[in-house]
Amino acid sequence: MREHKLSFFDERTAPIDAIIIHSSAFAADKAIKTYEQAEVSAHYIIDLNGQIIRLVDEDKRAWHAGKSFWQGRTGLNNNSVGIEVCNLSLGQKAYDKRQIFALLRLCKHLMKKYHINKENVLGHSDIAPSRKADPGACFPWQYLAQHGIGVWYDLRDCQQVKETDEKKLLSAIGYDITDLTAAKWAFCRHYMPQIVPVDEDVRHLIEHPYPADFSFNSDDYLQILQAVAYKMKKI
């Protein structure tokens, strides 16, 4: 595996139990230059051709998540491995198959090594919905879940869930609902990508990860919320 060591990390104070997936809007060499300028990092970056580059040793705390929240926990750099996957549209257009195969192998290896539950493989937008849109609506969560990485839903499970309050369901899944619109966007990018519009201006998307006026137009939204909450074993 290629290495390009970054010096932006510190010591973990919690064991690894999660994987956070990001996308970078550049090819790896340029992305690494931007990390060096911004003094941030991740543990791995997967280039456009599927090549994996190690940036920070797994036992160190890399600086990729920023202000983050999931299921009551904050500061997810501390307990996670951060993986960047290069995608010039920030995940709004398909990833290369070679990248996804490389990511699949890497995640399987990490999940086995650190006993990471599949529920704890998350996207940056899941844990920082008001600030981040990556890894984007074209990230293949459903495909990865079929291989035991992350969770997907079975719509029939909604019958098992009595809760119908949108906020309570999003919160039960793990989202920070301080900004409800942002949390809804993050949920849809992950579980209902077909209804998320593409922002052709990637720079705009980076600065404005979600429009304030998003109106949901799907009869399935509540049922999918319920089914995901059920799969997350949180309701």
Report the interface residues with Zn ion, using CB under 5 A: 22, 124, 134
Min separation Cβ 42 and Zn ion, Å: 8
- Through-space distance between the first and last CA atoms of the chain, rounded to whole angstroms: 41
Min separation Cβ 165 and Zn ion, Å: 29
If the CB atoms of residues 134 and 177 are measured against Zn ion, the closer one turns out to be 134
Q: Is 84 a catalytic residue?
A: yes
Min separation Cβ 112 and Zn ion, Å: 24
In this structure, is the dihedral angle defined by the CA atoms of residues 141, 165, 173 and 132, taken in order, positive or negative?
positive
Is the distance from CB of 99 to CB of 35 less than 8 angstroms?
no
What is the rounded CA–CA span in Å between residue 224 and residue 149? 19
If the CB atoms of residues 134 and 176 are measured against Zn ion, the closer one turns out to be 134
Nearest to 104 by CA among 80, 87, 121: 121
If the CB atoms of residues 21 and 228 are measured against Zn ion, the closer one turns out to be 21
Q: To 5 degrees, how large is the angle CA 191–CA 220–CA 208?
A: 45
Min separation Cβ 69 and Zn ion, Å: 14
Tokens read off for 77: 């750099």
What is the rounded CA–CA span in Å between residue 116 and residue 157? 24
If the CB atoms of residues 83 and 188 are measured against Zn ion, the closer one turns out to be 83
Residue of 3, 39, 58, 84 marked active site? 84
Q: What are the catalytic residues?
A: 84
